[in-house]
Chains A and B, each alone.
Chain A
């Protein structure tokens, strides 16, 4: 895995220690830039970060228009894996890339803890 800057490493550890998680990132929600990452080799962090931030932004707008308030967790499901995201209060987005059979409930809890730690 690629290294995360000091300080964020422990936050990302919360997520990556879950079995089936292939990597985790902190992404600036407004511009989609990677703040810190712990990713398996081969995952294109910056591109994934940009798309995740864009998706999060579209979803946020749609949910607000629907009167559902701010999004707290979202989960992109695919045939061979998943992308799970929790926005932190600061605007940073915590992202996990996982295998298809990951324990989604557990990853969600760790992402929420990580988001709380990021602030």
Chain B
């Protein structure tokens, strides 16, 4: 097996963009070399940030390291990229079991079973969730397995009505990284709203934790300069997140003003929805 690691490592070194990192990371994980697996998975993710299997691998490693919160984030991300990803559905079911949320665990297992109806492991876990043959499992009755309600339909065009960039550079998100309104396009004109929203899930909480840890009070904004454009994030309410993106020619100070105006519109819209 050491030879396998050596061979896969060599293959990856020869072609760093290769997907062989998935096999190498999994092999290292199986061998219990979690730190090495972690490094391989992270490097792979940097090169393939939209690859569902890469997020799934990273999540499994994090779960093995008992970093369940981040594992949850990664499996959640996996499902945003690939909603029928079997590994992520099973992984999230596992995490829901761990925290005692049996209905959610069962719902994810049901979804997994739809993807892989012949998987005996899923059937066994479902039986456990239902307090059936597994015996030792939770005995609570299953919730009706209705699909989780999707985010409310958007009415997104109205959120930022009248504001510059309403349909290409303003995005309103919920804490779980779902788009509430607005839209975002990349420089090539492709709609990247969902992908960017997914990556920003949890940013509001992390920014809040960081500010609190530093004794800085409530966070009010997060501005970032990129090679091809600028970003301004602001929390229009306690939980929602507003993203404003503009090209580099727009100075950061002006971006902050645009963000303030958009935040007022977003706050008003959110209050109207409540």
Contacts and interface: CB of A to CB of B under 8 A. Distances in A.
Contacts, number: 129
B227 interface: yes
B193 to A, nearest CB: 9
Contacts of B203: 55, 58-59, 62
Interface string A50-76: 011011001101111111111111111
B226 A72 contact: yes
A116 interface: no
Interface SS of A by simple majority = mixed
A34 interface: no
Nearest to A61: B199
A71 B224 contact: yes
B206 A74 contact: no
B222 A74 contact: yes
B269 interface: no
B137 interface: no
A78 B186 contact: no
Contacts of B272: none
B73 to A, nearest CB: 9
A71 B226 contact: yes
Nearest to A100: B216
B209 A51 contact: yes
A30 B211 CA distance: 21
Contacts of A65: 49-50, 192, 195-196, 199
A51 B195 contact: no
Contacts of B218: 78-79
Nearest to A56: B224
A111 to B, nearest CB: 11
B217 A79 contact: yes
Contact of A58 (B200, B215, B229): B200
Interface in B222-273: 222-231, 245, 252
Contacts of A80: 215-217
B175 interface: no
Interface in B1-60: 39, 42, 49-50
Given A66-B196, A68-B227, A77 B214 contact: no
Interface in B174-219: 184, 186-188, 190, 192, 195-196, 199-200, 202-203, 206-207, 209-211, 213-219
Nearest to A51: B210
A79 B216 contact: yes
B124 interface: no
Contacts of A68: 226-231, 245
A61 B49 contact: yes
Contacts of B215: 42, 80-81
A58 B206 contact: yes
B210 A59 contact: no
Contacts of B223: 74-75, 77
Q: Which of A47, A48, A52, A82 has the most CB of B within 10 A?
A: A82
Interface of B: 39, 42, 49-50, 184, 186-188, 190, 192, 195-196, 199-200, 202-203, 206-207, 209-211, 213-231, 245, 252
> Which 3 residue pairs of A and B lie closest in terms of their CB atoms, listed nearest first?
A69-B227, A67-B186, A68-B226
Given A71-B226, A81-B211, 7 more contacts: A62-B203, A65-B49, A66-B245, A75-B224, A75-B252, A76-B221, A77-B223
